[in-house]
């Protein structure tokens, strides 16, 4: 009885905060039929927004995957002074509001910022352009891979790596043949979380992008744009596509994962 | 073959190794025996290059290997908890050392087959370590360590994680394997029976120092220190001297040098009987005798008997025993 009670609470909670709103999004998107939805989704500016979001994600995810793995190795395997600080700093983006991140970049790369003048002198536009949006997205999605890999590496221990060394494997060979395969599911899970975070990023990108339609507008910004212009079908339509991409990524990971480690 | 020269190692305030020197002969099977914390595993890991000594020198095959990376020492290492590559099949585990050396595929296949045969795991090649028993995993780890044909094989408490029956089996099997391959082998253990049963030479360690290096028999018969006497085989204190329980005798009639004692407990150990007694001064001793002799004496707990040491003088033959 008690078990069912607990399950009931969990399911109710999920319905109330997750499934309910999600169902509402679907309902609203299709409320006025397929035509306005399709028209909004195929609008050139919407397509550009999706392309931009995918472009930013395609840069941020690999960057953060490499950084996350390297960072986790540094924290777990190499005891250096300040490892604890590094460990804490990795979590910083989780604690900071994305809007604050955006403002930080504004201060750094703005006309009077530390780096702003430097790039401007060389004719490189950072703010109100793709570079600043990539930097903002990389920043907010930074912790996920490291957070997944650190505990797995700890649990793994270093005995397998030592065994590989005594068998003649170089540090590089040991990493590729032993360490990375052993933590691969943590990396994959981290990548999925990072991807979801990149697709959904709003606050930091909103601050640094300038939100120019068809130029620096990402999918999430486009949702806001449509919503403010009373195009509900369009706003909910983009939201559904974004949610669908995330779900597909999650499903792909679950299906790829071998049965025994699920 | 392995020369360890004045090696010291500290972990913080803990002195793991204190000026240890040791020679291991080519082709021998040597046991390093000691209680936990005696530094035996640290010594082995230093020989393998997995730890760096604070001072001292490791020489392998006549060359200074202290600064050489573990990858290049030509040393095979077997870990207590197997350190199996869990994401690889048994075959891939065994082949690892050959693959990283970029050997031709055909040669690897042949060598792996040969090794799986040697460790009696033919037919298990496509399993994963998780699908093997502890004993099988350790045999796989041994095959993996032997694959690159190391000049030295080091085993760190190789059978420590296994149950008693498998341990005895693998022990005999390791001895047989050594007799076939003649690889210079050093294994670390805290199990004196394991050391005495299969090693040619036993190194007894305690608190980061070598207490004695000797053959199993010599170690038992002429222990160099009190520690060795008590750690290798059982020892009890009688009249201020350390003696083996079988060197004492329980008698019912008065005899010269005999002391009164009360029987506390009688334990049957297979063919032998062990009688635990409290002496008149309150100290406890154990006496080991044959079952037949125990039956003749008809001992019972609570009974007052006499304990003596028939061949007085045996203890004084142990030159370095501190009484």
- Stated as kind and residue range, the H or E segment containing B206 is strand B201-206
- B52 close to A (CB below 8 A): no
Q: Which of A104-118, A144-158, B208-222 has the lowest mean pLDDT?
A: A104-118
Which carries the bigger pLDDT value, residue B281 or residue B11? B11
| DSSP code at position B322 | -
Residue of A159, A167, A184 with shortest CB distance to B97? A167
- Kindly indicate the confidence band of residue B323, based on its pLDDT and cuts at 50, 70 and 90: very low
Q: Quick check: helix, strand or coil at residue B19? A: strand
Q: Quick check: helix, strand or coil at residue B111? A: helix
Q: Going by CATH, does the domain composed of B2-227 fall within 3.20.20.70?
A: no
Q: Which of A98-102, A171-175, B116-120, B240-244 has the lowest mean pLDDT?
A: B240-244
Is residue B139 predicted with pLDDT exceeding 90? yes
Whether B66 and B141 have beta carbons less than 8 Å apart is answered as: no
Closest CA–CA distance from residue A137 to any residue of chain B (Å): 34
Predicted pLDDT at A258:
64
Q: Could you tell me the two tokens for A240?
A: 């559904």
Contact: B69, A165; criterion CB under 8 Å: yes
Classify the phi-psi angles of B62: left when phi > 0, otherwise alpha if psi is within -120 to 50, otherwise beta. Answer: left
Mean pLDDT of the B61-72 span: 94
Contact: A169, B71; criterion CB under 8 Å: yes
For A130, A161, B204, the CA distances from B317, given in Å and listed in that order, are 89, 50, 20
Q: Could you tell me the two tokens for B295?
A: 């039956």
- Kindly indicate the confidence band of residue A243, based on its pLDDT and cuts at 50, 70 and 90: confident
d(CA B169, CA B163): 10
Q: What crossing angle do the helices spanning A44-77 and A83-90 adopt, rounded to 10°?
A: 160
Predicted pLDDT at B209:
95
Residue of A167, A184, A260 with shortest CB distance to B96? A167
d(CA A194, CA A138): 9
Q: Quick check: helix, strand or coil at residue B24? A: strand
Predicted pLDDT at B282:
85
> Highest-confidence range of A66-70, A258-262, B298-302, by mean pLDDT?
A66-70
Predicted pLDDT at A153:
95
Predicted pLDDT at B311:
66
Q: Architecture of domain B234-321 in CATH?
A: Beta Barrel (2.40)
With tokens 């981290």, the residue in question is: A190
Predicted pLDDT at A254:
80
- Kindly indicate the confidence band of residue B315, based on its pLDDT and cuts at 50, 70 and 90: very low
Is residue B57 predicted with pLDDT exceeding 80? yes
Residues β-bridged to residue B188: B32, B156
What are the start and end residues of each CATH 2.40.50.100 domain in chain B? 234-321
For A30, A197, A201, A210, A213, the CA distances from A224, given in Å and listed in that order, are 18, 17, 12, 13, 11
For the four alpha carbons of B9, B14, B20 and B23, in that order, the dihedral sign comes to negative
Is residue B80 predicted with pLDDT exceeding 80? yes
Closest CA to B315 of B241, B213, B239, B204: B241
Prediction pTM value = 0.84
Say how many C-beta atoms besides its own lie within 10 A of residue B155's C-beta. Answer: 25
Predicted pLDDT at A28:
84
What string of H, E and C letters represents the secondary structure of chain A? CHHHHHHHHHHHHHHHHHHHHHHHHHHHHHCCCHHHHHHHHCCHHHHHHHHHHHHHHHHHHHHHHHHHHHHHHHHHHCCCCCHHHHHHHHCHHHHCCHHHHHHHHHHHHCCCCCCHHHHHHCCCCCCCCHHHHHHHHHHHCCHHHHHHHHHHHHHHCCHHHHHHHHCCCCHHHHHHHHHHHHCHHHHHHHHHHHHHHHHHCCHHHHHHHCCCCCCCCCHHHHHHHHHHCCCHHHHHHHHHHHHHHHHHHHHHHHHHCCHHHC
Contact: A166, B86; criterion CB under 8 Å: no
What are the start and end residues of each CATH 3.40.50.300 domain in chain B? 2-227
Q: What percent of chain B has pLDDT over 70?
A: 96
What is the value of ipTM here, to two decimals?
0.85
Q: Which residues of B touch A163 (CB under 8 A)?
A: 77, 79, 83, 85, 141, 144
d(CA A65, CA A152): 15
Predicted pLDDT at A1:
65
d(CA B9, CA A95): 43
The residue length of chain B stands at: 323
Contact: A166, B70; criterion CB under 8 Å: yes
With tokens 């793709």, the residue in question is: A130
Model confidence over A5-53: pLDDT tens digits? Answer: 899 999 999 999 988 988 888 888 888 888 888 988 999 999 999 999 9
Question: What phi, psi does B183 have (nearest 5°)?
Answer: -70, 135
Whether B169 and B181 have beta carbons less than 8 Å apart is answered as: no
Model confidence over A207-241: pLDDT tens digits? Answer: 999 888 889 999 999 999 999 998 888 899 999 99
Residue of B71, B83, B88 with shortest CB distance to A168? B71
Model confidence over A153-201: pLDDT tens digits? Answer: 999 999 999 999 999 999 999 999 999 999 999 999 999 999 999 999 9
Predicted pLDDT at A117:
80
- B173 close to A (CB below 8 A): no
Model confidence over B144-177: pLDDT tens digits? Answer: 999 999 999 999 999 988 988 999 999 999 999 9
Which carries the bigger pLDDT value, residue A260 or residue A8? A8
With tokens 């690892």, the residue in question is: B96
Pairing of strands B63-64, B55-60: antiparallel
> Highest-confidence range of A248-252, B42-46, B252-256, by mean pLDDT?
B42-46
Q: Could you tell me the two tokens for A121?
A: 């002198």
d(CA B85, CA B93): 6
- Kindly indicate the confidence band of residue A262, based on its pLDDT and cuts at 50, 70 and 90: very low
- B97 close to A (CB below 8 A): yes
Q: What percent of chain A has pLDDT over 90?
A: 59
What is the overall mean pLDDT for chain B? 91
Predicted pLDDT at A259:
54
Model confidence over B265-278: pLDDT tens digits? Answer: 999 888 889 999 99
Q: Could you tell me the two tokens for B129?
A: 């370590």
């Amino acid at each position: 009885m008690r078990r069912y009670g607990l399950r009931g609470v969990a399911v109710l909670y999920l319905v109330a905060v997750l499934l309910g709103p999600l169902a509402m999004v679907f309902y609203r998107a299709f409320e006025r039929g397929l035509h306005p939805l399709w028209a909004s989704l195929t609008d050139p500016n919407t397509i550009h927004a999706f392309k931009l979001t995918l472009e930013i994600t395609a840069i941020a995810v690999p960057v953060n995957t490499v950084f996350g793995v390297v960072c986790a190795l540094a924290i777990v395997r190499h005891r250096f002074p300040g490892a604890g600080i590094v460990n804490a700093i990795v979590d910083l983006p989780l604690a900071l509001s994305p809007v604050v991140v955006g403002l930080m970049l504004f201060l750094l790369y703005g006309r009077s910022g530390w780096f702003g003048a430097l790039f401007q002198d060389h004719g490189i536009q950072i703010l109100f352009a793709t570079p600043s949006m990539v930097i903002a997205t990389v920043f907010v999605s930074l912790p996920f891979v490291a957070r997944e890999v650190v505990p797995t590496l700890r649990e793994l221990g270093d005995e397998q790596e030592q065994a590989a060394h005594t068998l003649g494997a170089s540090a590089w060979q040991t990493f590729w043949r032993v360490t990375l395969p052993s933590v691969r599911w943590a990396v994959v899970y981290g990548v999925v979380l990072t991807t979801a975070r990149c697709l959904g990023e709003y606050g930091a990108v909103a601050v640094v992008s300038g939100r120019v339609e068809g130029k620096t507008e990402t999918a999430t910004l486009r949702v806001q744009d449509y919503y403010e212009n009373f195009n509900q079908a369009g706003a909910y339509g983009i939201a559904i596509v974004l949610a669908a991409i995330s779900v597909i990524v999650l499903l792909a990971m679950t299906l790829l994962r071998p049965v025994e480690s699920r | 073959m392995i020369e360890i020269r004045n090696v010291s190692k500290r972990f913080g305030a803990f002195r793991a190794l204190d000026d240890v020197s040791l020679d291991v002969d080519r082709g021998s099977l040597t046991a390093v025996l000691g209680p936990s914390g005696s530094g035996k595993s640290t010594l082995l890991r230093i020989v393998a290059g997995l730890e760096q000594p604070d001072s001292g020198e490791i020489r392998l095959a006549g060359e200074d290997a202290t600064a050489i990376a573990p990858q290049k020492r030509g040393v095979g290492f077997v870990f207590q908890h197997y350190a199996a590559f869990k994401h690889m099949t048994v075959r891939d585990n065994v082949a690892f050392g050959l693959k990283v050396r970029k050997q031709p595929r055909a040669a690897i296949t042949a060598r792996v087959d040969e090794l799986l045969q040697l460790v009696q795991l033919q037919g298990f090649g496509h399993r994963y370590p998780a699908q093997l028993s502890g004993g099988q995993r350790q045999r796989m780890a041994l095959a993996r360590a032997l694959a690159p044909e190391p000049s030295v094989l080091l085993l760190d408490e190789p059978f420590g994680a296994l149950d008693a029956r498998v341990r005895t089996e693998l022990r005999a099997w390791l001895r047989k394997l050594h007799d076939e391959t003649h690889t210079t082998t050093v294994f670390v253990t805290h199990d004196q029976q394991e050391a005495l049963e299969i090693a040619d030479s036993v190194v007894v360690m305690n608190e980061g120092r070598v207490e004695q290096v000797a053959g199993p028999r010599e170690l038992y018969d002429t222990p160099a220190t009190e520690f060795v006497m008590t750690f290798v085989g059982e020892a009890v204190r009688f009249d201020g001297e350390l003696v083996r329980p079988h060197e004492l005798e329980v008698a019912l009639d008065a005899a010269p040098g005999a002391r009164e004692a009360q029987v506390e407990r009688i334990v049957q150990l297979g063919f032998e009987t062990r009688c635990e007694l409290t002496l008149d001064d309150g100290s406890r001793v154990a006496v080991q005798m044959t079952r037949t002799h125990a039956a003749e004496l008809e001992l019972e707990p609570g009974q007052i008997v006499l304990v003596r040491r028939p061949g007085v003088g045996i203890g004084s033959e142990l030159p370095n025993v501190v009484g």
